[in-house]
């Protein structure tokens, strides 16, 4: 069903009884050409682009829970293209371009809102390093502006300009960055993939990967065995567990990251802001809640909830940056399982098992990556090649030492 203004009017006149479910609820077939394990943002986008760009239709996405129950529906939704590392910057630049057309591409409103992202600078050293970063972003063809203190004050007057300890000296602004509605992204890709014939199978946990003579043959699931020509792993925080089913040990650890939401407030924060000292980022959702987060909890876990110590730490950082936050009430918090790679950058690659592919290591930044990751992974699975913008994400960089050192926390999350 195609969404349009005309359709809304039509449905309005017929009591809104004609809307169709966003995707079917098919029973798993006994065999597929391609199975994608994991119905998060990356898995659903991969299935969508496999069908759309490569014409493969006999695909299943196997999700152990429900669509949107993983990190794709738990994150703070920041989308930006301000990465400086060689391997990462073309990838995130491409992804932001895909975000800009995503609602039209999917015929589904993912509520991408380019409201800008301001990174605060608090010292001369930080101004210098952010200026360098701004120049790198500009040289790549994306947008970046350095603001002085007065310009930051004009842009975000509610920040703490009286702080002695963390004085605001300026900021790096990317106006095309912003936020999107996280679960709408999962639903939009699920709906798009389903319309192209992809079976989205919820409540279907993969419990084993069948391999014969070094070639993947299918998977074992909580709903029976399913044969497959190719299998793509795409399970974010559960990456190590799935890889272990195929006898692989990955350079990835799982950690908890929490997000927090306050009660709904009148429009107050007009952009996304990153604190320049300590780890804190905040935006305001369209419903009015302030959405914010900080550091990882700092220990390995598969729990989707965090601890009070980190909550206090994040609230302190928030209060230092915007003292008025002290008057708001925090309504909800939750955790997601981060797939932390050892260099803080992702992996999209074949594995040593024929026809078995891996996508993961998105750390705390994989929401913004969903469109580019899905289209790159689809290309890899369909053709065997990665597009140039994702060419640095090979698994063997951990063997050769060609790491893409973003601030990976890897084995030492406390040093982040």
- The contact set with ligand FAD (CB under 6 A) reads 37-43, 62-65, 69-72, 74-78, 205-206, 234-238, 242, 257-259, 293, 336, 362, 364-368
Q: How far is the CB of 145 from ligand FAD (least distance, A)?
A: 21
Between 92 and 169, CB nearer to ligand FAD: 92
Between 113 and 131, CB nearer to ligand FAD: 113
Q: How far is the CB of 245 from ligand FAD (least distance, A)?
A: 8
Q: How far is the CB of 112 from ligand FAD (least distance, A)?
A: 13
Q: How far is the CB of 161 from ligand FAD (least distance, A)?
A: 25
If we measure between CA atoms, which residue out of 280, 272, 323 comes closest to residue 118? 272
Q: How far is the CB of 124 from ligand FAD (least distance, A)?
A: 28
Q: How far is the CB of 204 from ligand FAD (least distance, A)?
A: 7
Between 100 and 153, CB nearer to ligand FAD: 100
Between 132 and 305, CB nearer to ligand FAD: 305
Q: How far is the CB of 49 from ligand FAD (least distance, A)?
A: 14
Residue nearest to ligand FAD (CB): 40
Between 168 and 372, CB nearer to ligand FAD: 372
Q: HEC profile for the chain? A: CCCCHHHHHHHHHCCCCCCCCCCCCCCCCCEEEEEEECCCHHHHHHHHHHHHHHCCCCEEEECCCCCCCCHHHCCCCEECCCCCCCCCHHHHHHHHHHHHCHHHHHCCCCCCECCCEEEEECCHHHHHHHHHHHHHHHHHCCCCEEEEHHHHHHHCCCCCCCCCCCCCCEEEEECCCEECCHHHHHHHHHHHHHHCCCEEECCCCEEEEEEECCEEEEEEECCEEEEEEEEEECCHHHHHHHHHHCCCCCCEEEEEEEEEEEEECCCCCCCEEECCCCCCEEEECCCCEEEEEEEEEEEECCCCCCCHHHHHHHHHHHHHHCHHHHHCCEEEEEEEEEEEECCCCCEEEECCCECEEEEECCCCCCCCCHHHHHHHHHHHHHHCCCCHHHCCCCCCHHHHCCCCCCCCCCCCHHHC
Q: How far is the CB of 31 from ligand FAD (least distance, A)?
A: 18
Between 169 and 336, CB nearer to ligand FAD: 336
The set of residues, in sequence order, having a beta carbon less than 8 Å from that of 45 and lying 6+ positions away, is: 189, 370, 371, 373, 374, 375, 377, 378
Between 170 and 293, CB nearer to ligand FAD: 293
The encoded tokens of residue 111 equal 């509520």
Q: How far is the CB of 258 from ligand FAD (least distance, A)?
A: 6
Between 79 and 127, CB nearer to ligand FAD: 79
Between 127 and 188, CB nearer to ligand FAD: 188
């Amino acid at each position: 069903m195609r969404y349009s203004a005309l359709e809304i009017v039509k449905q309005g006149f017929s009591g809104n009884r004609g809307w169709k479910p966003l995707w079917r609820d098919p029973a798993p077939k006994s065999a597929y050409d391609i199975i994608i394990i994991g119905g998060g943002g990356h898995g659903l986008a991969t299935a969508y682009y496999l069908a759309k760009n490569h014409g493969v239709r006999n695909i299943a996405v196997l999700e152990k829970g429900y669509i949107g129950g993983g990190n794709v529906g738990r994150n703070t939704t920041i989308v930006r293209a301000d990465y400086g590392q060689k391997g990462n910057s073309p990838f995130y630049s491409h992804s932001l371009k895909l975000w800009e057309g995503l609602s039209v591409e999917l015929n589904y409103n993912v509520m991408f809102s380019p409201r800008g992202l301001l990174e605060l600078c608090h010292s001369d050293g930080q101004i210098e390093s952010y200026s360098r970063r701004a120049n790198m972003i500009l040289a790549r063809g994306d947008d970046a502006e350095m603001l002085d203190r007065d310009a930051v004050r004009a842009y975000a007057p509610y920040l703490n300009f009286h702080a002695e300890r963390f004085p605001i000296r300026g900021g790096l602004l990317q106006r095309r960055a912003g936020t999107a509605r996280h679960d709408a992204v999962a639903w939009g890709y699920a709906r798009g993939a389903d319309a192209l014939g992809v079976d989205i199978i919820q409540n279907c946990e993969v419990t084993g990967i069948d391999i014969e003579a070094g070639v993947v043959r299918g998977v074992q699931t909580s709903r029976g065995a399913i044969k497959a020509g190719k299998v793509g792993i795409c399970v974010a925080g559960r990456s190590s567990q799935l890889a272990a089913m195929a006898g692989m040990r990955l350079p990835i650890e799982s950690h908890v990251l929490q997000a927090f939401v306050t009660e709904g407030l009148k429009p107050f924060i007009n952009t996304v802001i990153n604190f320049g000292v300590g780890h804190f980022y905040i935006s305001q959702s369209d419903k009015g809640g302030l959405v914010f987060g900080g550091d990882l909890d700092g220990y390995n876990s598969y729990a989707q909830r965090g601890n009070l110590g980190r909550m206090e730490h994040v609230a302190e950082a928030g209060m230092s940056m915007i003292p008025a936050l002290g008057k708001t009430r925090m309504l909800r918090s939750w955790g997601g399982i981060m797939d932390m790679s050892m260099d803080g950058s992702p992996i999209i690659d074949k594995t040593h098992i024929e026809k078995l592919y891996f996508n993961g290591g998105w750390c705390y930044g994989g929401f913004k990556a969903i469109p580019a990751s899905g289209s790159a992974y689809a290309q890899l699975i369909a053709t065997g090649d990665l597009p140039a913008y994702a060419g640095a994400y090979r698994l063997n960089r951990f063997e050769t030492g060609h790491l893409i050192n973003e601030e990976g926390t890897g084995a030492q999350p406390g040093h982040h």
